[in-house]
């Protein structure tokens, strides 16, 4: 296997956490395969989460009505983004694979990790109006979520009280990662490690290590490609694409379900 560059974006406050152990296993396993691993430990870095005018060096174009995405795109082109954003974009540019390691907070990302995404995935760096989804500026790179939950797996199934995990993950995996062009690998979910035995924790980490050994050879999840949509005024799935699925039992994806039952595990497995 060719040597690859891996960026781990890690968001947990405690070095004694299960997330820390999962992060350590990833670093050790990937480095043992001669991959280069770079770690962004967001809490140790005290990474600034809010996306503000301070992210631009010098005066914005419009101080009276500050538009973050437009202003940072102009700043990117003029080399006027703040140093911490530039550094994280450098890491991202060099990476072949990005692993996000975090605890799921409120069915989503911790604020510090969401802030990293808000600030680092700058318009013009990660996407543009014309270069998004399968044509996003980060296409060719792989990304995956590795995270812990506070609830058991059964609570996140289609009949569970928390609802279908596939639905929970759609805004993150499609609306962030796929939107920017990443090939999205199936997530690795550590279901409710808190309160489990040391042996159970070891089993979970052993499974993670085994997966990491072949991770870079995995095929990504399937999303609807940009060319499947009418990119004129409506941005709807083309009629020809809809016709392909007319006789199918399930919809195309969690998002483009065509009014049909959601395809099982569309956001969890290949």
* Polymer length of the chain: 270
Whether residue 119 is contained in a domain is answered as yes
pLDDT level of residue 212 (50, 70, 90 thresholds): very high
102 CB neighbour count, 10 Å cutoff: 23
- Distances in Å between the Cα of 268 and the Cα atoms of 87, 137, 145, 182, 256 are 31, 24, 10, 16, 16
Domains contained in the chain, number: 1
pLDDT digits over 24-74, tens only?
Answer: 999 999 999 999 999 999 999 999 999 999 999 999 988 889 999 999 999
pLDDT digits over 103-160, tens only?
Answer: 999 999 999 999 999 999 999 999 999 999 999 999 999 999 999 999 999 999 999 9
Whether residue 70 is contained in a domain is answered as yes
Whether residue 164 is contained in a domain is answered as yes
Whether residue 227 is contained in a domain is answered as no
Whether residue 266 is contained in a domain is answered as no
Q: Is the pLDDT of residue 83 over 90?
A: yes
CATH number at residue 200: 3.40.50.360
Whether residue 245 is contained in a domain is answered as no
What is the structure's pLDDT at 62?
87
pLDDT digits over 164-202, tens only?
Answer: 999 999 999 999 999 999 999 999 999 999 989 999 999
Whether residue 231 is contained in a domain is answered as no
Rg (CA), the chain: 19
pTM metric for this prediction: 0.96
Whether residue 203 is contained in a domain is answered as yes
What is the structure's pLDDT at 1?
66
Strand 142-148 and strand 97-103: pairing? parallel
Residue ranges making up the domain that contains 40: 5-221
Closest CA to 73 of 127, 134, 135, 141: 127
């Amino acid at each position: 296997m060719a040597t690859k560059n891996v960026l781990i974006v890690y968001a947990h406050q405690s070095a004694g956490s299960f997330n820390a152990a999962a992060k350590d296993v990833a670093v050790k396993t990937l480095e043992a395969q001669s991959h280069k691993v770079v770690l962004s430990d967001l809490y140790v870095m005290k990474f600034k989460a809010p996306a503000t005018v301070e992210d631009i060096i010098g005066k914005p174009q419009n101080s009276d009505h500050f538009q973050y995405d437009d202003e940072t795109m102009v700043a990117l082109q003029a080399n006027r983004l703040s140093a911490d954003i530039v550094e994280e974009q450098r890491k991202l540019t060099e990476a072949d694979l990005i692993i996000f390691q975090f605890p799921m907070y409120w069915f989503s990302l911790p604020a510090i990790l969401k802030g990293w995404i808000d600030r680092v995935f700058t318009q013009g760096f990660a996407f543009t109006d014309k270069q998004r989804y399968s044509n996003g500026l980060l296409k060719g790179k792989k990304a995956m979520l590795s995270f812990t939950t506070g609830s058991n797996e059964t609570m996140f199934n289609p009949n569970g009280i928390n609802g279908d995990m596939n639905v929970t993950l759609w805004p993150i995996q499609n609306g962030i990662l796929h939107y920017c062009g990443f090939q999205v690998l199936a997530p690795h979910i550590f279901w409710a490690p808190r309160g489990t035995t040391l042996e159970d924790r070891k089993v979970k980490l052993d499974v993670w290590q085994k997966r990491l050994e072949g991770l870079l050879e995995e095929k990504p999840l399937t999303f609807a490609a940009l060319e499947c949509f009418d990119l004129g005024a409506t941005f709807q799935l083309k009629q020809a694409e809809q016709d392909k699925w007319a006789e199918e039992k399930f919809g195309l994806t969690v998002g483009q379900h065509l009014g049909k039952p959601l395809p099982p595990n569309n956001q969890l497995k290949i």
